[in-house]
């Protein structure tokens, strides 16, 4: 990381981003990764451990290949920056292929330069919810399923005769007895 330390508004914004990070959720993600990949890792959710465990992207690539075997063809083992970033990018693309929506993924620099570890946690949680689709353990709340309903033409027409309460009603409403302030003297 060869960035200058942030100051002023940038520092405040970064502090806000860092405040959203939850050690409990990060620990849950690392626990899930350890189960999925059978890796022996430190499951502590503190930001330093979370970052150090995932920064080279190798473990993340193993997660994708555990869910969808062969999804990531080559996991880079070099410690060179661009090789690690390639792994992280491969993970993000693999997560999208597993059904993680784009808005729940993260940019490579969020992890590599430790810009936004919370977005990495969000992505892992989203991927973790998909675990059951691949016959693997999942984390977080169970993902909702489609519940499509089909109505007959007759059922749809039945609602046309009913005046919806959202249209409002003024039955029995008058302004008698209402007084706001003093009366007008002419």
Quick check: is 156 in a domain?
no
Quick check: is 171 in a domain?
no
Least confident of 98-102, 152-156, 168-172: 168-172
Confidence of residue 138 (pLDDT cuts 50, 70, 90): confident
Quick check: is 146 in a domain?
no
Determine the pLDDT at residue 85.
Answer: 93
Q: Which of 76, 69, 136, 140 is nearest to 104 (CA)?
A: 140
Quick check: is 62 in a domain?
yes
Confidence of residue 105 (pLDDT cuts 50, 70, 90): very high
Quick check: is 158 in a domain?
no
49 exposed, middle or buried (CB, 10 Å; 0-12, 13-18, 19+)? middle
Per-residue pLDDT at 1 exceeds 70:
no
DSSP letter for each residue of 38-81 = --------SHHHHHHHHTTSHHHHHHHHHHSTTSSS------SH
* Average pLDDT along the chain: 86
Contact residues for 67 (Cβ-Cβ < 8 A; gap 6+): 36, 98, 127, 130, 131, 134, 136
Q: Is the dihedral of CA 121, 122, 125, 126 positive or negative?
A: negative
Quick check: is 84 in a domain?
yes
Determine the pLDDT at residue 171.
Answer: 67
Counted domains in the chain: 1
- At 91, list the tokens: 């993970």
Determine the pLDDT at residue 21.
Answer: 85
Confidence of residue 119 (pLDDT cuts 50, 70, 90): very high
Contact residues for 110 (Cβ-Cβ < 8 A; gap 6+): 116, 117, 119, 120
Query: Residue 81: which CATH number?
Result: 1.10.418.10
pLDDT tens digits, one per residue of 156-171: 888 777 766 666 666 6
To the nearest 10°, report the CA torsion of 135, 141, 143, 147. 130
Determine the pLDDT at residue 168.
Answer: 66
Confidence of residue 94 (pLDDT cuts 50, 70, 90): very high
- At 30, list the tokens: 């690392």
Most confident of 11-25, 54-68, 121-135, 148-162: 54-68
Quick check: is 14 in a domain?
yes
Which range of residues forms the domain containing residue 116?
9-134
Quick check: is 144 in a domain?
no
């Amino acid at each position: 990381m060869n960035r200058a330390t942030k100051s002023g508004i940038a520092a405040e914004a970064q502090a806000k981003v860092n405040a959203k990070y939850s050690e409990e959720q990060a620990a849950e993600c690392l626990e899930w990764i350890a189960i999925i990949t059978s890796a022996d890792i430190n499951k502590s959710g503190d930001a330093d451990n979370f970052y150090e465990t995932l920064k080279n992207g190798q473990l993340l690539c193993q997660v994708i290949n555990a869910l969808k075997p062969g999804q990531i063809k080559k996991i880079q083992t070099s410690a060179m920056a661009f090789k690690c970033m390639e792994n992280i990018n491969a993970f993000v693309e693999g997560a999208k292929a597993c059904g993680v929506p784009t808005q729940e993924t993260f940019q490579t620099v969020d992890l590599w330069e430790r810009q936004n570890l919370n977005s990495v946690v969000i992505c892992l949680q989203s991927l973790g919810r998909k675990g059951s689709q691949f016959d693997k353990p999942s984390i977080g709340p169970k993902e909702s399923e489609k519940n499509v309903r089909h109505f007959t033409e007759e059922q749809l027409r039945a609602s046309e005769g009913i005046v919806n309460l959202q249209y409002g009603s003024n039955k029995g409403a008058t302004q008698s007895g209402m007084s706001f302030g003093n009366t007008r003297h002419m």
